[in-house]
């Protein structure tokens, strides 16, 4: 099986980065989500150097945030046969600068355990928040 998509949950000081899809997007317009996208390079499912590279590429394309693959934590619980999920925890005093792509129109840093109040919120993000906060 080949990987189709990847996502990165970005946390800074207990806050989750959420991005709002553009109202003109054909895929879930005006839904809040974590940075995610399609894999451009063929690779097997699961965690690999290529999957990490693709996750970082999507993160940079959608938010302008740059990171190293060694900073990513693979999340098998939120991955499946076509998708790999990662966690990136930012350890800086200030949040990283976010520069959105044309696919998104807003972003917010929201307390992780309050992220479920964002609506509509993609179901995989809801599950991540629920699990992380034991809600």
Question: What CATH code is carried by the domain that includes residue 70?
Answer: 3.90.79.10
What the block records as the tokens of 112 is 């992780």
What are the tens digits of pLDDT across the range 38-48? Answer: 999 888 888 98
The predicted pLDDT at position 135 comes to: 60
How many domains in the chain?
1
Distances (CA, A) of 47 to 20, 52, 80, 99, 118: 26, 7, 11, 27, 29
Band of residue 1 on the pLDDT scale cut at 50, 70, 90 = confident
Mean pLDDT across 81-87: 94
Distances (CA, A) of 10 to 46, 51, 98: 19, 17, 11
The predicted pLDDT at position 114 comes to: 94
Query: Global pTM?
Result: 0.95
Q: Whole domain around residue 76: which residue ranges?
A: 5-133
Report the alpha-carbon distance of residue 88 to residue 92 in Å, rounded.
Answer: 12
Residue 91's φ and ψ, nearest 5 degrees, are: -115, 50
Mean pLDDT of the chain: 94
């Amino acid at each position: 099986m080949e990987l189709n998509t990847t996502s990165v949950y970005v946390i800074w000081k207990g806050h989750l980065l959420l991005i709002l899809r553009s109202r003109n997007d054909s895929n879930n317009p005006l839904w809040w989500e974590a940075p995610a996208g399609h894999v451009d390079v063929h690779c097997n499912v699961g965690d690999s150097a290529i999957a990490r590279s693709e996750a970082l590429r999507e993160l940079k394309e959608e938010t302008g945030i740059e990171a190293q693959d060694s900073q990513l934590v693979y999340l098998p619980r939120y991955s499946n046969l076509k998708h790999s999920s990662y966690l990136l925890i930012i350890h800086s005093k200030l949040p990283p600068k976010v520069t959105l792509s044309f696919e998104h129109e807003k972003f917010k840093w929201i307390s992780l355990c309050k992220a479920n109040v964002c609506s509509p919120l993609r179901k995989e993000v809801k599950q991540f928040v629920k699990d992380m906060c034991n809600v």
